[in-house]
Amino acid sequence: MARFRVCPDSGFYFDKSAESLMKVNAVAAAVSLLVAGIMALGVILTRWQEVHLLPADLFYQALTLHGINALIFWIIFFEIAIMYFAASTLLRSRLAAPKWAWAGFVLMIIGAVMNNVAVFQGRSSVMMTSYAPMQAEPHFYLGLILFAVGALIGCFVFLGTLVIAKDEKTYEGSIPLVTFGALTACIIAVFTIACGAIILIPTFLWSIGYINHIDAAMYRLVWWGLGHSSQQINVAAHVSVWYLIAGVLFGARPMSEKVSRSAFLLYILFLQLASAHHILVDPGISSEWKVFNTSYAMYLAVLASMIHGLTVPGSVEVAQRAKGLTKGMFEWLRKAPWDNPVFSGFFLSLIIFGFIGGITGVVMGTEQINLIIHNTIYVPAHFHATVAVGTTLAFMALTYLLIPVLFRRALFLPWVAKMQPYVFSAGMTLMILFMLGAGTLGVSRRHWDMDFTGALLSFEYPGTAYVMMAVAGIGGVLAVLGGVMYLVVTVGSLVFGKKLDESAGFLQSFGLPLPAGTYNISRADPVPMAPRLAVEEHGSAGFEAPGTFVLAMALLVCFVVYYFINWDYLSSVWPLS
Amino acid sequence: MPQEENPQEPERIPFFQRVLENPFLLLFLGVVVPTVFYILWGIMEIATIPVAQ
């Protein structure tokens, strides 16, 4: 039975079932991002003290909806789509157990809707962390559990597809690096979901009265195995997306397959341990546990990120130099396609993730200097650099790549798409930098009123903190505008975009397969006969990338200077003499 | 004199590569390492806190 089609523009093979599942997961992700973005506006306009838009109850409700939709639903729906793409399309394999994959998707939808309904009803404004003994409605927890079960099914469908591809010899040798990165994301997801099950099932039983007590310290420890590791799935997924975009746009191959795969192995072994930095000021847990998990082990994961941060732009530089862009250190970068949102989104994501997200992450993971900023607004500033720019912008760039290839539609309002990565990243960077500053001055995260109006224990922040939060507010509004631009382009493309295939109608944009005749290949070309795309193959490109090494040295200098400034600051706020 | 390789013999895959090509071994390692160092060690620490009198 014919089940594959080949995209005439990109050469990618699409399995009929996998294609529909990628589309519906991507659409569900975009809907989650819409909810998250609307709520983001409420949050940022409340934290901007001069505006102070929402009353306290609505603020915490909006913050809960923003956090869960942005950090869980948007990201994981999109990651499931990426996993199906990496296993089925890049390996030219049929998808394993498509009915199970649909069942998983339905469970994820039911879970996401149930959880959102619980928060909208107003009695589950417990924020994403839902720390016990704060209690939400039972369907808040049940929604998360159903969503996690659905995502777990998606992970096993991905693993099953790897097995099928190997059995049916759709590829030769090792799986491509992008698929290996998706495997890394899948493995971290399994650990994450297991932690979620360990803590959320008892919490659900507690919410319906079957268990009378949840230990707060135990909850925090295990919950962060879910809460922070879920963001590590993102890191593995967006690094894979970077390699994918570099391969598709430039035909770039990794500088060294061995080094890049070893870096992913370091993620598999150690990245989840970074969850420990949330527990650094918790009493009852020893320094040995804290020091081991946040330094000796976590730095190996940081090393892996630094390797990817070097090899991804390095592979682009090698590919560009091979095309003759060899003048000086940076001709390859100056003459890169900056007006293509796929490239600009990818490269801005990489730079901001490394320079801001990476450096602040190490500062937060260092037990001593973490004390300066623990639980301040510095923390959301850090994870907006990693997740909102690093991951979300990379996923946005991938969407621009996949709309013509997967959905067979041309981009709607391409001039808006060209500007979108710049508007989004400029807004985010402004917001992040000033939130980092405000956090260093002690401004709390998740706090409705900086003025402490009517509080028994009052506190007065310096005027600079108010200015910084106001500038962060302006940046946040700009970032929301960037998010709106993304949704206008993507939804507009699916509905109004020029059809690149006559049969790519409205319903096909939302998951219905193209007409049966489009899938006219029963088995993808066997490996030796097929012209392989760079991202479907393996092989190293070498280390001739002086411009990238200069960028890496700039990152190192920034890191060293910022790290020592923090130690100096610690000595002034906490004199030991 | 170096031994010549027999072209009939299949190429030997290095041990490290065999590890990286086994998704289920990687899944095992990726779940066990953080479970031992983060979850189990952490639970033991909390469980051994003396109960307040």
Per-residue model confidence (pLDDT) at position B1: 47
Contact at CB, A225 and B46, closer than 8 angstroms: no
Which residues of chain A lie closer than 8 angstroms to B52, CB-CB? none
CATH hierarchy code of domain A14-250: 1.20.210.10
Contact at CB, B27 and A159, closer than 8 angstroms: yes
Q: Using CA atoms, how far apart are residues A243 and A263, in angstroms rounded to an integer?
A: 13
Per-residue model confidence (pLDDT) at position A546: 92
| Cα torsion A412, A416, A419, A424: sign | negative
Identify which of A127, A273, A383 has the alpha carbon closest to the alpha carbon of residue B35: A273
Q: Name which of B29, B38, B40 to mutate to probe chain A: the one with the most chain A Cβ atoms within 10 A of its Cβ.
A: B38
What is the DSSP annotation of A242-300? HHHHHHHHH----S-HHHHHHHHHHHHHHGGGGGGGGGTT-TTS-HHHHHIIIIITHHH
pTM, 2 dp = 0.94
Q: Using CA atoms, how far apart are residues A212 and A575, in angstroms rounded to an integer?
A: 44
Q: Which two tokens stand for residue A263?
A: 């870096």
Given a cut of 60, is residue B2 above it in pLDDT?
Answer: no
Q: Using CA atoms, how far apart are residues A435 and A463, in angstroms rounded to an integer?
A: 14
What digits encode the pLDDT tens for the residues A398-443?
Answer: 999 999 999 999 999 999 999 999 999 999 999 999 999 999 999 9
CB atoms within 10 A of CB A9: 10
- Kindly report which listed range (A192-196, A356-360, B1-5) carries the lowest average pLDDT score: B1-5
What digits encode the pLDDT tens for the residues A215-227?
Answer: 999 999 999 999 9
Given a cut of 50, is residue A528 above it in pLDDT?
Answer: no
Residue A444 phi, psi (nearest 5)? -70, 150
Is A332 exposed, middle or buried, given 0-12, 13-18 or 19+ CB atoms closer than 10 A?
buried
Farthest CA pair distance, chain A: 79
Identify which of A77, A133, A51 has the alpha carbon closest to the alpha carbon of residue A392: A77
Per-residue model confidence (pLDDT) at position B14: 86
Interface check A4 vs B, CB under 8 A: no
Per-residue model confidence (pLDDT) at position A345: 98
Calculate the average pLDDT of chain A. Answer: 92
Identify which of A449, A382, A269 has the alpha carbon closest to the alpha carbon of residue B25: A269
| Angle at CA of residue A259, ends A253 and A264, nearest 5° | 95
What digits encode the pLDDT tens for the residues A9-34?
Answer: 888 999 999 999 999 999 999 999 99
Contact at CB, B34 and A292, closer than 8 angstroms: no
The share of chain A scoring above pLDDT 70, in percent, equals: 96
Distances (CA, A) of A375 to A180, A378, A523, A552: 35, 8, 54, 30
What digits encode the pLDDT tens for the residues A96-155?
Answer: 999 999 999 999 999 999 999 999 999 999 999 999 999 999 999 999 999 999 999 999
Distances (CA, A) of A239 to A118, A235, A308, A480, B31: 34, 6, 7, 24, 20
Three-state DSSP class for A4? strand
The answer to whether the bond into A462 is cis (omega within 30° of 0) is: no
Distances (CA, A) of A249 to A154, A338, A353, A414: 28, 12, 20, 18
What digits encode the pLDDT tens for the residues B7-46?
Answer: 667 678 888 888 999 999 999 999 999 999 999 999 999 9
What digits encode the pLDDT tens for the residues A543-556?
Answer: 688 999 999 999 99
Contact at CB, A191 and B30, closer than 8 angstroms: yes
Per-residue model confidence (pLDDT) at position A531: 41
Pair A135, A209: CB distance under 8 Å: no
- ipTM value, please give it: 0.91
Picking from A187, A217, A222, the nearest residue to B26 by CB comes out as A187
Q: Which is higher by pLDDT, A57 or A528?
A: A57
Given a cut of 90, is residue A94 above it in pLDDT?
Answer: yes
Contact at CB, B20 and A187, closer than 8 angstroms: no
- Kindly report which listed range (A3-12, A228-237, B36-45) carries the lowest average pLDDT score: A3-12
Q: Using CA atoms, how far apart are residues A65 and A118, in angstroms rounded to an integer?
A: 10
Per-residue model confidence (pLDDT) at position A171: 87
Q: Which of residues 170-209 of A touch B (CB under 8 A)?
A: 174-175, 180, 183-184, 186-188, 190-191, 194-195, 198
Identify the bridge partners of residue A5 per DSSP, sorted by sequence position. Answer: A14
Question: What residues contact A513, with CB distance under 8 A and at least 6 apart?
Answer: A16, A19, A20, A519
| Residue ranges of domains in chain A | 14-250, 274-336+545-577, 341-357+369-451+459-512
pLDDT band at residue A537 using 50, 70 and 90 as cut-offs: low
Q: Which is higher by pLDDT, A148 or A534?
A: A148
- A vs B: CB pairs below 8 A: 84
CB atoms within 10 A of CB A516: 11
DSSP alpha helix (H) spans, A94-215: 98-120, 138-167, 177-207
Contact at CB, B43 and A174, closer than 8 angstroms: no
Given a cut of 60, is residue B51 above it in pLDDT?
Answer: yes
> Torsion over CA of A421, A318, A243 and A224, rounded to 10 degrees?
-80
pLDDT band at residue B3 using 50, 70 and 90 as cut-offs: low
Place of tokens 């560009």: A320
Contact at CB, B39 and A221, closer than 8 angstroms: yes
Q: Using CA atoms, how far apart are residues A376 and A387, in angstroms rounded to an integer?
A: 18
Pair A270, A300: CB distance under 8 Å: yes
Question: What residues contact B42, with CB distance under 8 A and at least 6 apart?
Answer: A221, A276, A279, A285, A289
Given a cut of 80, is residue A482 above it in pLDDT?
Answer: yes
How many CA atoms, within 13 angstroms, populate the side-chain half-sphere of residue A417?
Answer: 22
Is A432 exposed, middle or buried, given 0-12, 13-18 or 19+ CB atoms closer than 10 A?
buried
Identify which of A73, A70, A35 has the alpha carbon closest to the alpha carbon of residue A387: A70
CB atoms within 10 A of CB A335: 13
Interface check A268 vs B, CB under 8 A: yes
Q: Using CA atoms, how far apart are residues A32 and A147, in angstroms rounded to an integer?
A: 13
Chain B residue set in contact with A, beta carbons under 8 Å: 17, 20-21, 23-24, 26-27, 29-31, 33-35, 37-39, 41-43, 45-46, 49
| Angle at CA of residue A428, ends A447 and A453, nearest 5° | 20
Across A306-312, average pLDDT: 93
Per-residue model confidence (pLDDT) at position B13: 82
What digits encode the pLDDT tens for the residues A40-68?
Answer: 999 999 999 999 999 999 999 999 999 99
Which residues of chain B lie closer than 8 angstroms to A538, CB-CB? none
Consecutive H or E run containing A496: helix A463-496
Question: What residues contact A1, with CB distance under 8 A and at least 6 apart?
Answer: A522
Three-state DSSP class for A323? coil
Place of tokens 């200098």: A557
pLDDT band at residue A572 using 50, 70 and 90 as cut-offs: confident
What is the DSSP annotation of A341-392? HHHHHHHHHHHHIIIIIIHHHHHHTSHHHHHHHTTBTHHHHHHIIIIIIIIH
Pair A309, A354: CB distance under 8 Å: yes
The share of chain A scoring above pLDDT 90, in percent, equals: 81
Three-state DSSP class for A164? helix
Per-residue model confidence (pLDDT) at position A514: 87
Per-residue model confidence (pLDDT) at position A329: 93
Identify which of A313, A314, A310, A229 has the alpha carbon closest to the alpha carbon of residue A263: A310
Picking from B23, B27, B37, the nearest residue to A273 by CB comes out as B37
Q: Which two tokens stand for residue A540?
A: 């190293």
Contact at CB, B33 and A270, closer than 8 angstroms: yes
**Residue in A closest to B13 by C-alpha:** A173
Length of chain B, in residues: 53
Per-residue model confidence (pLDDT) at position A297: 78
Question: What residues contact A282, with CB distance under 8 A and at least 6 apart?
Answer: A217, A220, A221
Length of chain A, in residues: 577
Which residues of chain B lie closer than 8 angstroms to A195, CB-CB? 39
Residue B25 distance to chain A (closest CA, Å): 10
Per-residue model confidence (pLDDT) at position A462: 94
